[in-house]
Amino acid sequence: MTSIDPSPRAAARAEVVDAPTMLRAAGLRVTTQRSAVLDVLRQSAHVAVDELHERVHEQIPGIALQTVHGIVNDITAAGIAQRVSLPGASSSLYELARGDNHHHVQCVVCGRVEDVDCVVGEAPCLAPNHNHDMRILEASVTFRGICADCE
């Protein structure tokens, strides 16, 4: 399920993204395929690999699904994108990494996913009552509800 994020934050993100610069800064080779995947992520938030493939395929007809999987793995490992795993979702979604510790809200009826700013304070936003001798790096919170369109 894809959601075009109309927020001002998304618009600012869309203006800032320069695929070749991001790829070079991460030490990745600039290719047409990688740039196309980043362009789709820039335009949309929370995209599954199969939809990324579909949308990139419109620009590059010969691109294989496995190639898109490889690109997503590369740009995620490089910190350019991040994986969003949601309860009940059939596959992971991907978004451009924002360098923050934001969370998500998900409609349990239609599957729409939107970003939610950090819940309280600074990253990791939430602290467990017992850390089991681990240094906490992040907190991943998914709010689940029913959107106004599905109500």
105-148 per-position pLDDT tens digit: 888 888 788 888 766 655 555 666 777 788 877 777 788 889 89
Q: How many CB atoms lie within 10 A of CB 53?
A: 21
* pLDDT for the residue 124: 54
Binding residue per annotation — 138?
no
Taken as a whole, the chain contains a residue count of 151
Angle at 116 between CA 68 and CA 86, to 5 degrees: 50
Q: Per the omega criterion (within 30 degrees of 0), is the bond before 8 cis?
A: no
* pLDDT for the residue 100: 72
Binding residue per annotation — 150?
yes
Per-residue pLDDT band for 149 (boundaries 50, 70, 90) equals: very high
Distance in angstroms (rounded) separating the CA atoms of residues 67 and 73: 10
Tell me if the pTM is above 0.85. no
Reduced to 3 states (helix: H, G, I; strand: E, B; else coil), residue 21 is helix
CA R_g for the chain: 16
Give me 38's structure tokens. 């980043």
- pLDDT of 48-64, one tens digit each? 999 999 999 999 999 99
Binding residue per annotation — 110?
yes
CATH number of 8-96: 1.10.10.10
Which one has a higher pLDDT value, 144 or 99?
A: 144
* Residues in contact with 63: Cβ distance below 8 Å, sequence separation at least 6, in sequence order: 33, 36, 53, 56, 57
